[in-house]
Amino acid sequence: MKAMILAAGFGTRLLPFTNIRPKPLFPILGCPLLRIVIERLRQSGFSSIVVNTHHLGHQIVEYLRDEKDIFIQEENAILGTGGGLRMALDKFAGEPVLVVNADLYHTLDYKYIYDKHVASQNQITMVMHDYGRFNKVKVKKNGRIKSFSATPTMLLPAEELLAFTGVHVVNPGVLSHIPLGQFSNIIDHYSNFINNGGTIQFIKSMDTTWRDIGTPADYLDLHGSLLKDVNEVKHLMPVSKGQFFADQNVSIGTNVALADWGMIGAGAVIGDNAHLERVVVWDGAVVEKGAVHKDTIIC
What domains are defined for the chain?
2-210 (3.90.550.10), 216-298 (2.160.10)
Q: Mapping DSSP to helix (H, G, I), strand (E, B) and coil, where does residue 152 land?
A: helix
Segment holding 119, helix H or strand E: helix 110-120
Q: What is the pLDDT of residues 119-141, one digit of tens each?
A: 999 999 999 999 888 999 999 98
* Predicted local distance difference test score (pLDDT) of residue 61: 97
* Predicted local distance difference test score (pLDDT) of residue 158: 82
End-to-end CA distance of the chain: 37
Segment holding 4, helix H or strand E: strand 2-6
Q: Mapping DSSP to helix (H, G, I), strand (E, B) and coil, where does residue 50 land?
A: strand
* Predicted local distance difference test score (pLDDT) of residue 236: 96
* Predicted local distance difference test score (pLDDT) of residue 26: 98
Looking at residues 27-55, what average pLDDT do you find? 96
Q: Is the pLDDT of residue 242 over 90?
A: no
Q: Mapping DSSP to helix (H, G, I), strand (E, B) and coil, where does residue 30 land?
A: coil
Q: What is the pLDDT of residues 149-172, one digit of tens each?
A: 877 667 777 889 999 999 999 999
* Predicted local distance difference test score (pLDDT) of residue 156: 74
Looking at residues 255-261, what average pLDDT do you find? 96
Q: Which residues contact 263 (CB under 8 A, 6 or more apart)?
A: 29, 30, 223, 227, 236, 244, 245, 246, 247, 279, 280, 281
The answer to whether the beta carbons of residues 73 and 40 sit under 8 Å apart is no
CA distance 139 to 165: 14
Phi, psi of 97 (to 5 degrees): -125, 135
Looking at residues 198-219, what average pLDDT do you find? 93
* Predicted local distance difference test score (pLDDT) of residue 241: 83
* Predicted local distance difference test score (pLDDT) of residue 299: 95
The conformational region for residue 109 under phi > 0 = left, psi -120 to 50 = alpha, else beta, is: beta
> What percent of the chain shows pLDDT beyond 70?
99
The answer to whether the beta carbons of residues 29 and 233 sit under 8 Å apart is yes
* Predicted local distance difference test score (pLDDT) of residue 142: 85
* Predicted local distance difference test score (pLDDT) of residue 37: 97
CA distance 75 to 78: 6
- Note if the pTM is more than 0.85: yes
Looking at residues 247-263, what average pLDDT do you find? 97
* Predicted local distance difference test score (pLDDT) of residue 14: 95
The residue type of 257 is A
Q: Is the pLDDT of residue 229 over 80?
A: yes
CA distance 80 to 182: 8
CA distance 212 to 237: 26
* Predicted local distance difference test score (pLDDT) of residue 90: 95
Average pLDDT, the chain: 94
* Predicted local distance difference test score (pLDDT) of residue 141: 83
Quote the DSSP letter at residue 182: S
Q: Of 190, 7, 173, 183, give the one whose Cα is nearest residue 93.
A: 173
Q: Which residues contact 168 (CB under 8 A, 6 or more apart)?
A: 98, 99, 124, 125, 126, 127
Looking at residues 29-37, what average pLDDT do you find? 97
- Which band of pLDDT confidence, cut at 50, 70 and 90, is reported for residue 248? very high
